[in-house]
């Protein structure tokens, strides 16, 4: 029995059906199911690669008095040891948008500020020997008191992480939109809520990997790493390493074992390993181990939010005040403090209210520096917003669904500009909500809940809404630019991507991207798009992903993050196809002696519109262009390669009122959960989980479903299972997978998913983002459902993760 | 995360293994399944100078019946226990306890000797051994020693074993067909280390409990039977009320601590829930041994 | 410090090798570095994630918890050995058809564990698959595609002639 999966798609589009939108099995799978992937650890791109092991701080906060590595360097096989003193003259701090950021270098120089901070790097002939040497490095520390709690770290008494700054608050911004104070003064009801979001990490199965090669003859750095973009970090790295941009080459292999945001913040390690190469004079490879990953990579921020919501008696929300405090860890590492700014344009979510106050603070604590984590700061945002909406519903004794229906944007309001600058192009949010309510049979569900409650069961229904931002605006960070620094001279904007397509002499099509995907199926979707344009099979198309800034077309925004492929790269690919088609039509019109306007591309052929007999295959045309260019008219250039750049026009710089459309595209999602708290064990059983989305055009429904399930798992993980726990000295208590417990197949849940496709008006293919949305809705829906279950007992739980142990304490307290 | 250097010895017979162990003393560690040991070696939390691998010794991996006992070789795998028909027939609780250990890939490698000698307070096999009134045989160059389960465990990761000893055999008395049994664990996620493990063995004659053995693991530093509660059950007629009371009384013998997984109060509560459930299950299982 | 080595003999995917190997080298590292079989992925090196799962003498074990020299004389099958005579194993086909993988990093270990699971339970329910596969962590799929893949592969594997079964 043999099935060639390449020739057996789940669905075969017919003539009038396109590959785009079909459930095409993935092209990537062919190598991955055979164990022939090409991951960072598999690479040996240069001879004489040495291996690095990193000595890390055992202290949450300490001064480095002395480092003695004489014994380590004596071990046979050890080539060199890099310490903080070595890099003083080689690097500049990473540039940051913040008022009091402290100085962040690739490794500790005078002080360590979190457990796991790199203190020394051993470079040896293999990993085993490198780790032997770590054991022989003697570091003398003077331990200092640490601060790990957000609200304590802000206080005057807190130990300072960066003494020169005089505060642990890296950045604080307070901005009002509309007439917030008036809205609160005139409100019939004001509800207040404090919610706490836990610190958890992406935990991709593949850890960080870097091969750094310092080219001393050119003062250049060649770096292979499993970076996921954005390539704006290229600028951050070039500045830190003191190289001009064209002398920093970043290469990402075709296969990256998951990212979910964490591989954005690999770049300090990319720099560190390159500095190790500079010291050792050989290329250096470092594969992070799982312990390092859990203590020293990155995580999402833990956040405390104080919410205030003003409303009329009838439930109309009139204003919202957010007081957000994020713990960004020991350093503020770009793209942080993006955590407080990334959803700038959608702080009002899917709702109509126009009066918003944002009080946003990023606080430094003795924990690992944070960074994007699937849904970057939106899980936090909607957890707080949707909890407060539920509290308002509870206070006014209005059904939570009815309250939301009253406040969500109407289709007639689109295109809609939010009070903070977000631009929602088109949508029918009530229709999506209705779709969900219908699938869930909401009224019946309420009755069922009532019956179960009568049986004494702790049953709850929770709903959450989210506007999911995708394709981040490269300019959103400018809202954080210090007020005395005018950013008018160099405003930033855009969310762009590049694609190059080449057709070879045999008609073979190669797509070259710089999108550095980590499993999102870019090769497949690119092939679907191209196949539709040229009328060929997607399986005949070669798509090269990963990245190479030295040889490929790329943009500052390139990469696979913020759910951006379907709204950016997909369009660049489409445009590159169009560019080639224009050229091929020109050649055909010359050869066929007709006007290009009379030509169409159908089924791999250029065909005359009025005479189908008159046609030329693309293969033949490509052959002529490559083999016989002299017959082409002068105005047609040689070759068949086209590079296109696409940027979303709607993502402009910050405006004069401090508003910004922080993302290019916004999907809409509604989740509903039915849960039960076990009365004996206090475990949470998720009985039913419904989702409805409008993600615009779905380019590959199978991949979309995979993304929704994957996002759900991250949401489930942070809501119920995962937390990075630190003690008061900054010791991390979850440094292995034995302590940091990830949900397995046994904990995962089934979803009932509905879609409403309203194509985006901003992208030629009509697609928006989908990869992160479930991480935004799941924590809020589950927390609301649990609190609905707790409602008869008049208690609430607003801090994640919601564990059986916490539910036990709360309900026992309620019994008293 | 790579091990430091060591020497590995792979003796083919127990005599060689014992003399190697005697020679290297505390610088050597025995390795069989390695499922607990190798992670600590990879993390360099353990840096033994030598490992003595018992996997190539014939005659240490067996499950056999002798008289009214089941004898199990020290290098018998958890998966062997889980699937053995002899164990299913004569002491099914042990098979259940083995089946609760991690995942299949771990149970293929992990051994009964390794688990008992490691004496992790959260492990399931010590709970089973205590509940089943088993014995442990250890062997050194000086000869064989035999321990009742109660004498064997000293506390967290400590047992009665000397450094030059190997756990060579486990002996489990055959459980009468009339007995009832139960084994259960509480974990944070499926297959994770238990927060709590409960084993119960019960015999009832003429509607009265004549024998009860109850062990709770995962809470106290030393896993022990709760003899006071066992005595409370004996002579009584099984009933939901009795089991509830017994479960509540069990909590008096537990000293849980709070950690990142759960509060002490929650653990204590769950002792009550699990013991009650285990007693009920054992009662419902009466007469089902071997079926 | 001289690296302590032993000579070992091992059969991997039907090919016999004699190699001198550092005593402390993990089986996973040996396969990847010494034999170039990079399909076996290393995800945690402490036996939790399951990414490095492969078959040693017919049992799916975690290769990060075994020293290479402990596999002296053993018959090992890695992901690279699943395809036989140009024919994919049904598990490989099912994973692709049911979108059982995204980044592909957990996939080799996941498929090995799945084949082993079906050996013990050739006709499982969905719930049994969920519990039986819980020893392998995936962060991409939410496990949905994986569970579907295993359910789809089960009857296909049962139908395979014994000689074409991997184990």
Tell me if C96 and A29 make a contact (CB, 8 A cut-off): yes
| pLDDT for residue A4 | 36
Task: Name which residue leads in pLDDT, B250 or A6.
Answer: B250
Task: Name which residue leads in pLDDT, B242 or A484.
Answer: B242
Same domain assignment for residues C152 and C101? yes
A391-419 pLDDT, tens digit per residue, is 999 999 999 999 999 999 999 999 999 99
Kindly state whether residue C41 falls inside one of the protein's structural domains. Answer: yes
**Residue entry with tokens 């039913």:** A688
Tell me if B38 and C64 make a contact (CB, 8 A cut-off): yes
Pairing of the two strands A118-124 and A50-56: antiparallel
Mean local confidence (pLDDT), B235-241: 97
> Mutate which of A30, A33, A291, A518 to test chain C, going by most C C-beta atoms within 10 A?
A33
Q: Which chain B residue is nearest to residue A809, measuring alpha carbons?
A: B266
Chain C nearest CA to B109, separation (Å)? 7
Hey, what domains does chain A have and what are their CATH numbers?
41-144+207-256+262-296 (3.90.1170.50), 379-475+659-815 (3.30.365.10), 496-556+569-647 (3.30.365.10)
Chain B nearest CA to C4, separation (Å)? 7
A626-645 pLDDT, tens digit per residue, is 999 999 988 888 899 999 99
pTM for the whole structure: 0.97
Last residue of a domain, one of C80, C114, C137: C80
A247-292 pLDDT, tens digit per residue, is 999 999 999 999 999 999 999 999 999 999 999 999 999 999 999 9
Tell me if A32 and C38 make a contact (CB, 8 A cut-off): no
Tell me if A34 and C82 make a contact (CB, 8 A cut-off): yes
Percent of chain A's residues with pLDDT above 90: 94
Interface of A with B (CB under 8 A): 127-128, 131-132, 135, 289-291, 680-682, 721, 723, 725, 733-734, 736, 738-739, 741-747, 803-805, 808-809, 812
Kindly state whether residue C165 falls inside one of the protein's structural domains. Answer: no
Pairing of the two strands A458-472 and A423-424: unpaired
Return mean pLDDT, chain C: 95
Q: Which chain B residue is nearest to residue A732, measuring alpha carbons?
A: B260
Same domain assignment for residues C26 and C55? yes
> A696 is written with which tokens?
């615009």
Contacts of B51 in chain C (CB under 8 A): 67
* Domain that includes residue C121, residue range: 90-160
Measured N-to-C along each axis, helices A804-815 and A773-790 cross at an angle, to the nearest 10 degrees, of 30
A366-390 pLDDT, tens digit per residue, is 999 999 999 999 999 999 999 999 9
Kindly state whether residue C32 falls inside one of the protein's structural domains. Answer: yes
Last residue of a domain, one of C18, C49, C80: C80
Same domain assignment for residues C74 and C94? no
Q: How far, in Å, CA of A579 to CA of A563, rounded?
A: 26
When divided into structural domains, chain C yields a total of: 2
Contacts of C21 in chain A (CB under 8 A): none
> Measured between CB atoms, does C50 come within 8 Å of chain A?
no
Mean local confidence (pLDDT), A647-652: 93
> Measured between CB atoms, does C5 come within 8 Å of chain B?
no
> C37 is written with which tokens?
């079989």
Same domain assignment for residues C74 and C21? yes
Question: Which pLDDT band, with edges at 50, 70 and 90, does C10 fall under?
Answer: very high
User: Chains meeting A at 3+ CB pairs closer than 8 A?
Assistant: B, C
Question: Which pLDDT band, with edges at 50, 70 and 90, does A612 fall under?
Answer: confident
pLDDT at A17 over 80: no
**Residue entry with tokens 């699990």:** B274
Q: What is the CATH number of the domain that holds C115?
A: 1.10.150.120
Same domain assignment for residues C57 and C110? no
Chain B nearest CA to A272, separation (Å)? 19
Chain B nearest CA to A747, separation (Å)? 7
Question: Which pLDDT band, with edges at 50, 70 and 90, does A7 fall under?
Answer: very low
- The separation between CA A29 and the C-alpha centre of its own chain, rounded to angstroms, equals 23
Return mean pLDDT, chain A: 95
Same domain assignment for residues C76 and C9? yes
Same domain assignment for residues C67 and C123? no
CB pairs under 8 A between A and C: 194
| pLDDT for residue A816 | 82
ipTM metric: 0.97
Q: Which chain A residue is nearest to residue B1, measuring alpha carbons?
A: A289
Tell me if C142 and A2 make a contact (CB, 8 A cut-off): no
Q: Which chain C residue is nearest to residue B79, measuring alpha carbons?
A: C59
Same domain assignment for residues C63 and C97? no
A457-507 pLDDT, tens digit per residue, is 999 999 999 999 999 999 999 998 866 655 556 789 999 999 999 999 999
Last residue of a domain, one of C80, C110, C134: C80
Same domain assignment for residues C50 and C94? no
> A76 is written with which tokens?
């046979």
Same domain assignment for residues C61 and C112? no
**Share of chain A residues as helix, strand and coil, in percent rounded to the nearest 5:** 30, 25, 45
Question: Which pLDDT band, with edges at 50, 70 and 90, does C166 fall under?
Answer: low
Kindly state whether residue C99 falls inside one of the protein's structural domains. Answer: yes
Interface of B with C (CB under 8 A): 1-8, 10, 34-35, 38-39, 42-43, 51, 53, 55, 79, 102-106, 108-109, 189-191
> Measured between CB atoms, does C64 come within 8 Å of chain B?
yes
Kindly state whether residue C143 falls inside one of the protein's structural domains. Answer: yes
**Among C residues 104-133, those touching chain A with beta carbons less than 8 Å apart:** 104-108, 111, 129-131, 133
Question: Is A541 buried (19+), middle (13-18) or exposed (0-12) by CB count in 10 A?
Answer: buried
Mean local confidence (pLDDT), A70-79: 97
3-state secondary structure of A306: strand
Tell me if C80 and A745 make a contact (CB, 8 A cut-off): no
Q: What is the CATH number of the domain that holds C42?
A: 3.10.20.30
Contacts of C60 in chain B (CB under 8 A): 104-105, 108
Mean local confidence (pLDDT), A103-115: 97
Same domain assignment for residues C68 and C9? yes
C58 contacts C38 by C-beta, under 8 angstroms? no
Chain C nearest CA to B32, separation (Å)? 10
How long is chain B? 291
| pLDDT for residue A6 | 38
How long is chain C? 167
Residue A204: which of C97, C108, C139 has the nearest Cβ?
C139
Residue C43: which of A2, A205, A260 has the nearest Cβ?
A205
| pLDDT for residue A97 | 86
Residue A65 CB neighbours (<10 A): 10
**Residue entry with tokens 């000397």:** B162
C44-98 pLDDT, tens digit per residue, is 999 999 999 999 999 999 999 999 999 999 999 999 999 999 999 999 999 999 9
Chain C nearest CA to B73, separation (Å)? 20
Kindly state whether residue C167 falls inside one of the protein's structural domains. Answer: no
Tell me if B263 and A808 make a contact (CB, 8 A cut-off): yes
B81-126 pLDDT, tens digit per residue, is 999 999 999 999 999 999 999 999 999 999 999 999 999 999 999 9
Residue C102 CB neighbours (<10 A): 30
Q: How far, in Å, CA of A348 to CA of A368, rounded?
A: 30
Same domain assignment for residues C74 and C25? yes
């Amino acid at each position: 029995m043999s099935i060639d999966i390449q020739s057996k798609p789940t669905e075969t589009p017919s003539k009038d059906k396109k590959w785009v939108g079909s459930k095409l099995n993935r092209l990537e799978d062919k190598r991955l199911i055979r164990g022939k992937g090409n991951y960072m650890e598999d690479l040996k791109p240069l001879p004489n690669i040495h291996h690095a092991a990193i000595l890390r701080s055992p202290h949450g906060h300490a001064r480095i008095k002395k480092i003695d590595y004489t014994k380590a360097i004596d071990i046979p096989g050890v080539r060199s040891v890099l310490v903080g003193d070595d890099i003083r003259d080689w690097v500049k701090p990473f540039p940051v948008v913040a008022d009091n950021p402290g100085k962040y270098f690739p490794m500790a120089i005078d002080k360590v500020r979190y457990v796991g901070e790199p203190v020394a790097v051993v470079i040896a002939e293999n990993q085993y020997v490198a780790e032997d040497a770590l054991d022989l490095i003697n570091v003398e520390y003077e331990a200092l008191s640490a601060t790990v709690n957000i609200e304590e770290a802000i206080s005057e008494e807190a130990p300072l992480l960066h003494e020169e700054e005089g505060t642990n608050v890296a950045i604080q911004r307070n901005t009002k939109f509309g007439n917030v104070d008036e809205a609160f003064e005139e409100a019939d009801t004001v509800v207040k809520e404090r919610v706490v979001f836990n610190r958890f990490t992406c935990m991709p199965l593949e850890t960080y990997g870097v091969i750094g090669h310092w080219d001393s003859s050119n003062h250049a750095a060649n770096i292979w790493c499993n970076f996921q973009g954005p390539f704006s970090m290229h600028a951050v790295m070039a500045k830190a390493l003191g190289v001009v941009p064209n002398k920093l080459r970043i290469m990402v292999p075709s296969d990256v074992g998951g990212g979910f945001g964490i591989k954005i913040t690999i770049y300090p390690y990319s720099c560190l390993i390159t500095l190790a190469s500079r010291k050792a004079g050989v290329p250096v490879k470092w594969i992070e181990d799982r312990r390092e990953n859990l203590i020293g990579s990155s995580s999402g921020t833990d956040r405390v939010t104080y919410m205030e919501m003003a409303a009329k008696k009838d439930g109309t929300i009139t204003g919202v005040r957010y007081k957000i405090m994020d713990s960004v860890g020991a350093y503020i590492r770009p793209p942080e403090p993006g955590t407080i700014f990334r959803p700038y344009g959608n702080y009002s979510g899917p709702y109509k209210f126009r009066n918003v106050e944002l009080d946003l603070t990023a606080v430094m604590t003795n924990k690992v520096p944070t960074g994007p984590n699937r849904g970057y700061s939106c899980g936090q945002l909607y957890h707080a917003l949707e909890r407060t909406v539920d509290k308002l519903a509870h206070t006014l004794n209005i059904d939570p669904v009815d309250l939301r229906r009253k406040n969500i944007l109407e289709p007639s309001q689109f295109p809609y500009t939010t009070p903070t600058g977000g631009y929602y192009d088109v949508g029918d949010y009530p229709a999506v909500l209705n779709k969900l309510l219908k699938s869930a049979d909401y009224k019946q569900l309420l009755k069922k809940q009532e019956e179960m409650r009568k049986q004494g069961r702790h049953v709850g229904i929770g709903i959450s809404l989210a506007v999911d931002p995708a394709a981040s605006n490269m300019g959103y960070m400018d809202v954080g630019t210090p007020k005395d620094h005018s950013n008018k001279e160099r405003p930033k904007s855009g969310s762009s991507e590049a694609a190059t397509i080449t057709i070879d002499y045999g008609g073979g099509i190669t797509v070259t991207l710089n999108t550095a995907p980590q499993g999102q199926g870019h090769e497949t979707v690119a092939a679907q798009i191209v196949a539709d344009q040229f009328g060929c099979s997607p399986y005949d198309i070669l798509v090269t992903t990963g990245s190479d800034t030295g040889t490929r077309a790329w943009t500052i925004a390139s990469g696979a993050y913020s759910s951006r492929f379907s709204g950016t790269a997909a369009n660049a690919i489409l445009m590159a196809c169009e560019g080639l088609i224009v050229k091929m039509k020109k050649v055909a019109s010359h050869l066929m002696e007709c006007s290009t306007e009379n030509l169409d591309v159908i089924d791999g052929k250029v065909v005359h519109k009025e005479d189908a007999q008159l046609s030329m295959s693309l293969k033949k045309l490509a052959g002529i262009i490559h083999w016989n260019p002299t017959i082409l008219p002068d105005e047609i250039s040689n070759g068949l390669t086209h590079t296109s750049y696409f940027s979303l026009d709607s993502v402009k710089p910050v405006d004069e009122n401090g508003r910004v459309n922080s993302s290019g595209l916004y999907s809409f999602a509604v989740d509903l959960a039915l849960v039960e708290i076990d009365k004996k064990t206090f475990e949470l059983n998720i009985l039913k989980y419904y989702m409805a989305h409008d993600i615009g055009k779905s380019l590959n429904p199978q991949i979309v479903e995979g993304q929704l399930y994957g996002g759900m798992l991250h949401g489930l993980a942070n809501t119920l299972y995962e937390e990075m726990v630190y003690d008061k000295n900054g010791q991390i208590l979850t440094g292995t997978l034995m302590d940091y417990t990830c949900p397995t197949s046994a904990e995962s849940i089934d979803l009932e998913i509905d879609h409403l496709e309203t194509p985006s008006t901003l992208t030629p293919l009509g697609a928006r983002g989908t990869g992160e949305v479930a991480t935004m809705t799941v924590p809020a829906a589950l927390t609301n459902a649990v609190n609905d279950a707790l409602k008869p007992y008049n208690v609430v739980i607003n801090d994640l993760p919601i564990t059986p142990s916490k539910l036990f304490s709360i309900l026992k307290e309620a019994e008293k | 995360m790579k091990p430091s250097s060591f020497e590995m010895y792979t003796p083919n017979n127990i005599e060689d293994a014992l003399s190697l162990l005697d020679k290297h003393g505390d610088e050597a560690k025995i390795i069989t399944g390695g499922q607990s040991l190798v992670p600590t070696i990879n993390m360099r939390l353990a840096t033994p100078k030598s490992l003595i691998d018992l996997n190539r010794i014939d005659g240490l991996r067996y499950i056999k019946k002798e008289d009214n006992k089941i004898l199990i070789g020290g290098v018998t795998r958890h998966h062997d226990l889980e699937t053995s028909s002899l164990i299913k027939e004569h002491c099914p609780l042990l098979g259940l306890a083995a089946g609760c250990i991690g995942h299949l890939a771990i149970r293929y490698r992990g051994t009964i000797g390794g688990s008992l000698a490691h004496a992790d307070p959260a492990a399931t096999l010590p709970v089973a051994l205590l509940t089943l009134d088993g014995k442990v045989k250890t062997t050194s160059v000086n000869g064989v020693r035999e321990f009742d389960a109660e004498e064997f465990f000293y506390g967290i990761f400590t047992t009665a074993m000397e450094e030059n000893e190997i756990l060579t055999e486990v002996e489990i008395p055959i459980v009468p067909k009339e007995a009832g049994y139960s084994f259960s664990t509480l974990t944070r996620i499926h297959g994770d280390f238990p927060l709590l493990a409960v084993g119960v063995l019960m015999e009832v004659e003429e509607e009265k409990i004549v024998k009860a053995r109850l062990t709770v693991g995962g809470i106290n530093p030393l896993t022990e039977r709760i003899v006071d509660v066992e005595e409370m059950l004996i002579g009584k007629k099984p009933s939901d009320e009795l089991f509830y009371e017994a479960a509540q009384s069990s909590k008096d013998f537990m000293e849980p601590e709070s950690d990142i997984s759960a509060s002490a109060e929650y653990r204590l509560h769950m002792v009550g829930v699990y013991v009650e459930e285990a007693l009920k299950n054992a009662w419902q299982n009466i007469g089902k041994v071997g079926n | 410090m001289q690296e302590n080595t032993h000579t070992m003999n091992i059969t991997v995917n039907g090919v016999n090798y004699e190699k001198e190997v550092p005593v402390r080298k993990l089986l996973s590292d040996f396969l990847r570095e010494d034999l170039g079989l990079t399909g076996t992925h290393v995800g945690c090196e402490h036996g939790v994630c399951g990414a490095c799962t492969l078959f040693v003498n017919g049992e799916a074990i975690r290769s990060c918890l075994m020293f290479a020299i402990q596999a002296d004389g053993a018959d090992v099958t890695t992901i690279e050995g699943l395809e036989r005579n140009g024919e994919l194993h049904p598990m490989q086909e099912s994973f692709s058809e049911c979108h059982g993988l995204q980044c592909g990093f957990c996939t080799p270990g996941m498929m090995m564990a799945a084949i082993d699971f079906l050996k013990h339970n050739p006709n499982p329910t969905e719930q049994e698959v969920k519990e039986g596969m819980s020893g392998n962590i995936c962060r991409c799929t939410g496990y949905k595609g994986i569970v579907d893949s295993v359910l789809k592969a089960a009857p296909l594997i049962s139908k395979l002639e014994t000689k074409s079964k991997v184990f």
